[in-house]
Structure 1
Amino acid sequence: MTPRIETITDKKLVGKRITMSYANYRIGELWGSFMPRRREITNNLTNDLISLVVYSPIHFVDFKLTNEFERWATVEVENFNNVPDTMETFILSGGLYAVFNYKGMSSGASAFFQYIYSEWVPNSDFTLDNRAHFEVLGEKYKNNDPSSEEEIWIPIKAK
């Protein structure tokens, strides 16, 4: 489970967001409200979906299942000229990311994330950076399918 390390530039995203915690995980509600309307976004740069999380700076320092965060369901766009009603814009800050490939059902993802945050990050030459974390759900992504594949992007900076 060795990630590739990538530097990206800022990305413009359009989508929907809700506040949740891992104790009150409302991901189905978020994607259920976004997916029927995603075709209203007309200036997509790709067909990929981006599932994005904005954590507070102390989220992982004092981790509790009840810590709240923002979860976004988005797509990357060329510009913000045509944002559908009830959707919002987000600028994903560029920078250094560790990119992990995940294959499997979403039910196994929590163990994968636990490995990243409790094993890989502490034993790497990096620390977490205070920028958005995100997953790219591309053409190989199949919700709740054992053959599903996605990329997990973790913001990092040198120790």
Structure 2
Amino acid sequence: MEPRIETLAEKKLIGKKITMSLTDNRTGELWKGFMPRRKEIQNSMGPELYSMNVYGPLYFESFSPSNPFEKWAELEVTNFNTVPDEMETYTLPAGLYAVFHYKGSGTDTGIFDYIYSSWLPNSDYLLDNRPHFEVLGEKYKNGSPDSEEEIWIPIRLK
């Protein structure tokens, strides 16, 4: 599976976040709190949902499944003029990304094993310290084997 390499422009996002780890996965809790309220975001740029992970600068250097990170559930917006109560803003910085098209239920972590253990070490790129995210568009069907999404991994040239 080869990704497309894309330069992403800065994006403005509004949503909810939670601190979690892979061993204390609170993704369901986050989305359960966000989805009923997403329509309160008045200036969204489209229906696509963003599932974003913000890792600390040493997260991957001393990787452990118990390392904490921020997980976000968000929508892209035109501006931050109106932010619903109990939601926050995030400016996703511009940069280079490897974009993988994924089809599956989302419970199989094999795609991430492939990206970090096989594709990345054999590519012309290094992991960059910017957020990682998935774009959940119209073909995304939570838990379905027919679900499709894009996985965006921040990279920089070696």
* TM range, smaller chain: over 0.9
Q: Distance in 1 between matches of 2:74 and 2:137?
A: 12
What do you get for the CA RMSD once the two structures are aligned? 0.5
Counterpart position of 2:156: 157
Post-superposition CA distance 1:77-107 (Å, at most 9, x none): 0000110000000000111000000000111
Structure 1 length-normalised TM: 0.98
Question: How far does residue 36 in structure 1 lie from its aligned partner after superposition?
Answer: 0.4
Q: Distance in 1 between matches of 2:115 and 2:47?
A: 27
Q: Distance in 1 between matches of 2:100 and 2:9?
A: 18
Residue identity in the other structure for 1:7: T
Residue identity in the other structure for 1:32: K
Counterpart position of 2:68: 68
Counterpart position of 1:100: 100
Secondary structure class of the residue paired with 1:114:
helix
Counterpart position of 2:81: 81
Matched, 1:126 2:125: yes
Matched, 1:113 2:107: no
Counterpart position of 2:144: 145
Is there any run of 5+ residues in structure 1 with no aligned partner, and where?
none
Counterpart position of 2:57: 57
Runs of 4+ more than 4 Å apart: none
Q: Distance in 2 between matches of 1:63 and 1:45?
A: 35
Q: Distance in 1 between matches of 2:157 and 2:4?
A: 15
Q: Distance in 2 between matches of 1:151 and 1:96?
A: 15
Q: Distance in 2 between matches of 1:83 and 1:122?
A: 40
Q: Distance in 1 between matches of 2:92 and 2:30?
A: 19
Residue identity in the other structure for 2:24: N
Post-superposition CA distance 1:104-159 (Å, at most 9, x none): 01111x11111101111111000000000000000000000000000000000000
Structure 2 length-normalised TM: 0.99
Percent of matched pairs sharing the same residue: 61
Counterpart position of 1:42: 42
Counterpart position of 2:8: 8
Instruction: Specify which structure has the higher proportion of helix.
Output: 1
Q: Distance in 2 between matches of 1:124 and 1:53?
A: 22
Is there any run of 5+ residues in structure 2 with no aligned partner, and where?
none
Q: Number of residue pairs matched?
A: 158
